[in-house]
Chains A and B, each alone.
Chain A
Amino acid sequence: MTAGSPLSPAINRDGMRAEAAIAVENIVKRYGDFEAVKGVSFSVADGEIFGLLGPNGAGKSTLIRMMTTLIPVTSGRAIVGGHDVSKHSDAVRRMIGVIPQALTSDQDLTVEENLSIYAKLYSVPRGQREKNIADVLEAVDLTKWRTAQTKTLSGGMRRRLEIARGLVHDPRIFFLDEPTTGLDPVSRIAVWEMLNNLKKTRNLTMLLTTHYMEEADRLCDRIAIVDHGTLVALGTPVELKQSVPGSNVVEVQFNREDPEWQSRLESLPNVTEVQSQSAGVYRVLTSNGSQTTTQLVEMAASLGEQLTSLSVQNTSLDDVFVHYTGRQLRDEQVKAVFSMPPRPGASQ
């Protein structure tokens, strides 16, 4: 599944579809000669949780910053809540809540003070302010920490405060830039549950960026994979997994490394792709996991080789990600650029 197909119907001649909360059309961001975002298009339906997935430096944050009016768009259009971000940025700002990547709540202020100041920045009327603060604190389960200084909160609680801060003016559309980065697994799951609840109770449209596959899989209705500033795939998690050749992944490790393994594995029936990992580990994408496993064990036995480990799993978003972004190739390129200089006096 590529970027082009699902996008065009979402945007009409006026720049948006009736049900689209966010519509991005051929958007470009250029810094001098460097093009950080290269003509990306997609739309997000009202009430949808939409994930932007991509490796570091793919252009996810640049995209989200353009949609939230933080940086100007070089060309193309982004319509958020029915307003063009370039022409009616103020109207866009009133409709959106934004959770930045960094934890930026003031540590010296209390939880309530942080929320109150942001409610004032959004001109929430005095009477409504108290109710909104109480509601969002309830939603993120921080009511009993209302008067606590932010510096006394744990990382997970601070992230929940950031989320509450983004909701204090009751926005329609919610942007979250890597909302669980830096959190431990327990806090991460708590944030996921909270976001799911928010979606149900507030009918929020959410656009989040992440590089956690599990997060995207569990939270998002649809996912766009961005790499090198372009949109390389878009669809529901199920659609994306189906778009990768092979429905199962067999991960195998041989006790001896041999360059022949790659071709031997590729020659097995039902195998669609073989990805070589480190230390003799191979990821074999196959349309029939159980059959490939049996054949693989038999092949190893016939060659007198032993298997160190063997596992079978369904295709995950990890496989989708690797398939579309070619992460291993990227790693090799990075290694080539950042080779360690020799120590002074050491022989070359």
Chain B
Amino acid sequence: MNRFLAIVEREMRKFFRSPVLMIMSMMLPLVQLIILGNAFGGKVRGAKVAVVDYDRGPQALKIHEAFDSIAVNIATFTTIGYTDENQAREDVRTGKVDAAVIIPAQYSRRVYAQDAPRLGLVVDNSDQFLSSSITGEMQSLVDAINKPVIQPRIVKNIAIEIVELYPYVEYMKYLLSGSIALAMYISVMIGGGMLYIDDKARGVHEGYLVTPITKLELVMGLNIAGAIKAVLAGISLTVIGSLMAGLGVIFHPMALLQLFLLILGTSIAFNGMMFLMMVRVDDPLVPRAMFGVLNTLLFFPSGAIYPIAAFPKWLRAIAIVDPFTYAIHGFKAILLKDGGFAAIQTDLIFLFVFGIGTLLIATPLFKRTL
């Protein structure tokens, strides 16, 4: 008992004497949270839309008025008047404007005659996000114009009544779960993987191996120390990130307990995975080389940035065995929805089973000799 605690004590003393690890493990996720959270969080504002009006009739004027209303209210786009359709198309192509609306000649007449009136919209679909925002806004505008002034007594069209369970989730809040998991991963990678191999290369492990410490005690000591470091990184980022993103859930005692269990499960899963990968590695360059590859391979398919439902099948297969997926799902369930134990049950089971399973595989592989 004393012996594995000695390993934990040594690791923790080193950890607290050198806060660089703690700072470094939180730096990237925090920067990511701040930059990506703000960059992707907002709606499109101030896009430039060229308007070529060949009609100049009353219905075209109605369109212009709607555009002006958008410009002063939600400000998705502002309009610039063009006289030549070809010039407008060319400017969309070269990026001078983001889209072009063509109001064809005879548009007003066709509206009055109910003769399939059409508006043209030229978008730069190389930028999916911007073009779909402008398209969506234009569609809403057209829908509004199409609405009859007097509603019929019996409505024939099918309408969807949308019920939003939670308040509007800003992207920063959405991203926070991924940032917490990423901070824990970096802590495990640096504090577990890299330091472990560096200690091996420096001969520190040689010092342990000549003592009567058993293989299990050594594995337990190293992993418990790694798990504590990851838990500390996870707790720190949960608190800092929640305050930054404006999530009050961290002030609910039950949610705190659930978050702690998730952080604990995640740290055990990440440590087990890392220990299994590093158990036979001796070259200090290996964990450094693996750092970026693993980050991409595990973080991005986990649903931290983009929903898993949008992934191709092979990427979903990675997501199924990726501990990041369950950690992030669990954090989202608590941080964004306060979903309770029922919402994180599967995640907790996977994380603990994964962590213990990988450790059980890694322990026999750990060499008690050099």
Question: B10 contacts A117, CB within 8 Å?
Answer: yes
Chain B interface secondary structure, helix, strand, loop or mixed? helix
The yes or no answer to B18 lying at the interface (CB within 8 A) is yes
In the bound complex, CA of A166 to CA of B120 (Å) = 84
The total of chain A residues at the interface (CB under 8 A) is: 26
- Nearest-neighbour CB distance to chain B for A325, whole angstroms, equals 26
Question: A109 contacts B17, CB within 8 Å?
Answer: yes
Question: A69 contacts B204, CB within 8 Å?
Answer: no
The yes or no answer to A311 lying at the interface (CB within 8 A) is no
Residue of B9, B202, B203, B370 touching A71 (CB-CB under 8 A): B370
Question: B2 contacts A100, CB within 8 Å?
Answer: no
Contacts of A100 on B, CB cut-off 8 Å? Answer: 203, 206-207
The total of chain B residues at the interface (CB under 8 A) is: 24
- Nearest-neighbour CB distance to chain B for A327, whole angstroms, equals 28
Taken residue by residue from 321 to 349, chain B's Cβ proximity to chain A (1 for < 8 Å, 0 otherwise) reads as 00000000000000000000000000000
- Nearest-neighbour CB distance to chain A for B20, whole angstroms, equals 11
The yes or no answer to B208 lying at the interface (CB within 8 A) is yes
The yes or no answer to A234 lying at the interface (CB within 8 A) is no
Question: B10 contacts A70, CB within 8 Å?
Answer: no
Knowing A71-B369, A93-B211 touch, does A123 contact B13 (C-beta < 8 A)? no
Contacts of B3 on A, CB cut-off 8 Å? Answer: 120-121, 123
The yes or no answer to A225 lying at the interface (CB within 8 A) is no
In the bound complex, CA of A113 to CA of B16 (Å) = 14
- Nearest-neighbour CB distance to chain B for A122, whole angstroms, equals 6
In the bound complex, CA of A158 to CA of B54 (Å) = 88
The yes or no answer to B5 lying at the interface (CB within 8 A) is yes
Of residues 65 through 115 on chain A, the ones whose CB sits less than 8 Å from some CB of chain B are 65, 68-72, 90, 93-94, 96, 98, 100-102, 104, 106, 108-109, 113
Contacts of B10 on A, CB cut-off 8 Å? Answer: 106, 109, 117
- Nearest-neighbour CB distance to chain A for B215, whole angstroms, equals 11
In the bound complex, CA of A96 to CA of B207 (Å) = 12
Contacts of A165 on B, CB cut-off 8 Å? Answer: 207
**Could you say which of B5, B9, B204, B212 has the most chain A C-beta atoms within 10 Å of its C-beta?**
B212
- Nearest-neighbour CB distance to chain B for A173, whole angstroms, equals 12
Contacts of B209 on A, CB cut-off 8 Å? Answer: 69-70
**Could you say which of A68, A71, A113, A117 has the most chain B C-beta atoms within 10 Å of its C-beta?**
A117
In the bound complex, CA of A135 to CA of B137 (Å) = 81
Question: A109 contacts B370, CB within 8 Å?
Answer: no
Question: B206 contacts A70, CB within 8 Å?
Answer: yes
Question: A108 contacts B206, CB within 8 Å?
Answer: no
The yes or no answer to A118 lying at the interface (CB within 8 A) is yes
Taken residue by residue from 1 to 25, chain B's Cβ proximity to chain A (1 for < 8 Å, 0 otherwise) reads as 0110111011001100110000000
Question: B14 contacts A72, CB within 8 Å?
Answer: no
Contacts of A96 on B, CB cut-off 8 Å? Answer: 210
A-B contacts counted at CB < 8 A amount to 70
Contacts of A108 on B, CB cut-off 8 Å? Answer: 13-14, 17-18
The yes or no answer to B255 lying at the interface (CB within 8 A) is no
- Nearest-neighbour CB distance to chain B for A250, whole angstroms, equals 43
Question: B370 contacts A70, CB within 8 Å?
Answer: yes
In the bound complex, CA of A268 to CA of B75 (Å) = 109
- Nearest-neighbour CB distance to chain B for A213, whole angstroms, equals 26
Nearest-CB residue, chain B, relative to A151: B17
The yes or no answer to B281 lying at the interface (CB within 8 A) is no
Question: A118 contacts B211, CB within 8 Å?
Answer: yes
Of residues 1 through 59 on chain B, the ones whose CB sits less than 8 Å from some CB of chain A are 2-3, 5-7, 9-10, 13-14, 17-18
Question: A104 contacts B18, CB within 8 Å?
Answer: no
The yes or no answer to B213 lying at the interface (CB within 8 A) is yes
Question: A69 contacts B14, CB within 8 Å?
Answer: no
In the bound complex, CA of A69 to CA of B212 (Å) = 10
Knowing A71-B370, A109-B14, A117-B6 touch, does A102 contact B202 (C-beta < 8 A)? yes
Residue of B2, B202, B206, B208 touching A123 (CB-CB under 8 A): B2
Nearest-CB residue, chain B, relative to A96: B210
Contacts of A117 on B, CB cut-off 8 Å? Answer: 6, 9-10
Contacts of B204 on A, CB cut-off 8 Å? Answer: 104, 106
Residues of chain A at the chain B interface (Cβ within 8 Å): 65, 68-72, 90, 93-94, 96, 98, 100-102, 104, 106, 108-109, 113, 117-118, 120-123, 165
Residue contacts A-B, CB under 8 angstroms, 24 given: A68-B210, A69-B210, A69-B369, A70-B369, A70-B370, A94-B212, A98-B207, A100-B203, A100-B207, A102-B203, A104-B203, A104-B207, A106-B13, A108-B14, A109-B10, A109-B17, A120-B9, A121-B6, A121-B7, A121-B211, A121-B213, A122-B211, A122-B212, A165-B207
Residues of chain B at the chain A interface (Cβ within 8 Å): 2-3, 5-7, 9-10, 13-14, 17-18, 202-204, 206-213, 369-370
The 10 closest A-B CB pairs, nearest first, are A120-B6, A102-B203, A98-B210, A108-B17, A121-B211, A104-B203, A93-B212, A117-B10, A108-B14, A70-B370
